Amino acid sequence: MADKAQQTEEQVQEVTQEVAKPEVSLKESNPEKFLAEFDWENYEEGIDPIDDGKLAEFEKLVAQNFVDTLDNEVVVGTVAHMTDRDAIIDINAKSEGVISLNEFRYNPDLKVGDKVDVLIDVREDATGQLVLSHRKARTIKAWERVNVAHDEGTVVTGFVKCRTKGGMIVDVFGIEAFLPGSQIDVKPIRDYDLYVGKTMEFKVVKINQEFKNVVVSHKALIEADIEEQKREIIGQLEKGQVLEGVVKNITSYGVFVDLGGVDGLVHITDLSWSRINHPNEIVELDQKLNVVILDFDEDKTRIQLGLKQLKAHPWDALGEELKVGDRVKGKVVVIADYGAFIEVAEGVEGLIHVSEMSWSTHLRSAQDFVNVGDEVEAEILTLDREERKMSLGIKQLTPDPWTDITSKYPVGSKHSGIVRNFTNFGVFVEMEEGIDGLIYISDLSWTKKVKHPSEFTNIGDNLEVIVLELDVEGRKLSLGHKQTTENPWDKYEDEFAVGSKHNASIDEVVEKGAVIHFNDDITAFVPKRHMVKEDGSSLKKGEEAEFQIIEFNKDFKKVVASHMTIHREEEANIVKQAARKAAKQAEEAKPTLGDANAKLQELKDKMDGKK
């Protein structure tokens, strides 16, 4: 080892001496050129000129034979000798380096002459020995390889060492990388232990240089292969093509079918011509079935499949003898507020609108008549084979109740009906199924002023009614409730005639007067100026007094009363009585003709001196 170093130093000295010789031949042969090319700076510094070619040869020789021990780069060394504990490595330095055999545990077959990567750990220890590290060199090289694999997207091989939380630990180039559980395969993995101890291929998907963390994925390789297979398969697909596939997954909205490397979706609406609630009513997992290609997206590699399209449309198989007016039976498959859909044959549905479920003009919800799953009979009202639409009716199976309406409900006849609905202007009363009548709000009561029908009756109540009007063509029935009883205003017209007097208490005081109730039917209004009492004050709420009727209108149910007229009338009577008494007294004090003659005679006698 010492002989080799000495030999190398001698070669360098020979080259150094040779390149250091001064160039005198040019000075002697061509002085002008020598002066032009002379390096005056080197001359002033005391450095003799050296031939560039010789200098380059010297630098090349140094670079080939010596390693810069001050550089932290990884260099390749050769195993020159091995002991029980160490390996002596030649790196073309002034001395050979030492590496513990513990750093070569992964390579038990290490032998003299093998090339290994090393890093200069210590240039010179206490004994003057060059200390090298193979482990550090491997780590540096491994990180270089991992970064290159990440940047270039190349595939690396790794050894699955063990499980960890959320995934696996993988040895890649001697670096421990993390393999997330979601990146093991394209399908969910339940047992991670199956992969421990296996050597697999991965892609480096993420590197954290700060924390020296590496994340790898095996799923990315599988997906890349699948995408490639998809592109190849889709390139051969055509719309309308029938393929065999296997049911891979079932969801609430459809079925995913494996077509041999690429998946397609059969939407729930393309599984059957009939309505279904869930795809598992038609198919099951791992079932083989034929499907037809409906559409596909070459960019997104999505394939739309159909199952029901392999069968003829049920409308095409519908019998030609079926026509409007025929009766059909079917099952209720869907209910909406506006009606119910009836499946009369597999894949053939008809709509029964809620207005065709009952002869009643008072519309209700379809749920009031049928339920999903009910078997019903209906009559075909319309049939459009081109548009594949059919409308049905249930009420047509029973006679129209308006057919003999004039005989059942003549004008003036009395009946009982059920309150079904309110409007602001009246009450709808159902006389029987299919026949509704309207009671206007003014025909509810003779005496009460009803602002809204809910103040008078409730939904579901039975009411006695009288038929007031009947419009057969317009299918309208006008009813009255108050007409079932005698008009109380006819008898009140005499009892509460103008000028009649009645006792009552003030029930309510309003801005313009007060309201009083003589009985349940008669409510009167007292104007404010007619509330004045005899002492000049006004009546208060709850105060009882006597009132005189000053206005009674039977047609408008209007009654006006006055308290003031009571005491004003009394005052007038007192004045009249006083006047009559005064007149009487005056009459009695008036002298008679005889009395006047006697007085005149007496006066005459006095004048004559007789008395």
pLDDT digits (tens, 9 = 90+) for 573-589: 655 665 566 556 656 65
CATH number at residue 260: 2.40.50.140
137 falls within a domain: no
- How confident is the model at residue 235, as a pLDDT? 75
Angle (CA) 474-477-479 rounded to 5° is 155
Say whether both 11 and 92 belong to one domain.
yes
- How confident is the model at residue 21, as a pLDDT? 45
Say whether both 443 and 522 belong to one domain.
no
- Residue 356 in contact with residue 432, Cβ under 8 Å? no
β-strand 213-217 against 544-553: which pairing, if any? unpaired
319 falls within a domain: no
- How confident is the model at residue 362, as a pLDDT? 63
- How confident is the model at residue 214, as a pLDDT? 87
513 falls within a domain: yes
119 falls within a domain: no
- Residue 372 in contact with residue 332, Cβ under 8 Å? yes
146 falls within a domain: no
β-bridge mates for residue 157, sequence order? 201
Tell me how far apart the alpha carbons of residues 446 and 480 are, in angstroms, rounded to a whole number. Answer: 11
- How confident is the model at residue 17, as a pLDDT? 47
Say whether both 433 and 501 belong to one domain.
no
Among 101, 104, 76, smallest CA distance to 90 is for 76
Range of the domain at 547: 488-568
- How confident is the model at residue 76, as a pLDDT? 82
- How confident is the model at residue 527, as a pLDDT? 92
- How confident is the model at residue 89, as a pLDDT? 82
- Residue 450 in contact with residue 404, Cβ under 8 Å? no
Tell me how far apart the alpha carbons of residues 329 and 324 are, in angstroms, rounded to a whole number. Answer: 14
Say whether both 30 and 91 belong to one domain.
yes
160 falls within a domain: yes
- How confident is the model at residue 420, as a pLDDT? 87
Among 549, 551, 528, smallest CA distance to 540 is for 528
End-to-end Cα distance, the chain: 208
- Residue 69 in contact with residue 120, Cβ under 8 Å? yes
Say whether both 20 and 93 belong to one domain.
yes
Residues 6 or more apart in contact with residue 27 via CB below 8 angstroms: 34
Number of domains in the chain: 6
- How confident is the model at residue 298, as a pLDDT? 65
Tell me how far apart the alpha carbons of residues 471 and 62 are, in angstroms, rounded to a whole number. Answer: 124
- The low-confidence residues of the chain, meaning pLDDT below 50, are 1-8, 11-13, 15-24, 62, 65-70, 611
Whole-angstrom CA distances from 221 to 175, 184, 204, 224, 348 are 20, 10, 10, 5, 48
β-strand 263-267 against 302-306: which pairing, if any? parallel
Tell me how far apart the alpha carbons of residues 503 and 517 are, in angstroms, rounded to a whole number. Answer: 10
Residue ranges of alpha helices (H) inside 466-541 are: 488-495
Residues 6 or more apart in contact with residue 124 via CB below 8 angstroms: 130
Say whether both 89 and 172 belong to one domain.
no
β-bridge mates for residue 100, sequence order? 86
Say whether both 492 and 478 belong to one domain.
no
Say whether both 93 and 11 belong to one domain.
yes
Say whether both 475 and 546 belong to one domain.
no
For residues 546, 550, 554 and 556, what is the CA-based torsion angle, rounded to 10 degrees?
-110
Residue ranges of alpha helices (H) inside 275-383 are: none
Say whether both 261 and 285 belong to one domain.
yes
Q: Burial, 584: exposed, middle or buried (Cβ in 10 Å; 0-12, 13-18, 19+)?
A: exposed
Residue type, 558: K
Q: Which helix (H) or strand (E) holds 59?
A: helix 52-65
> φ and ψ at 542, to 5 degrees?
90, -10
348 falls within a domain: yes
Phi-psi sector, 388: left (phi>0), alpha (psi -120 to 50), beta: left
Q: What's the token pair of residue 429?
A: 């009363």
**At which of 397, 426, 441 does a domain end?**
397
125 falls within a domain: no
Say whether both 304 and 335 belong to one domain.
no
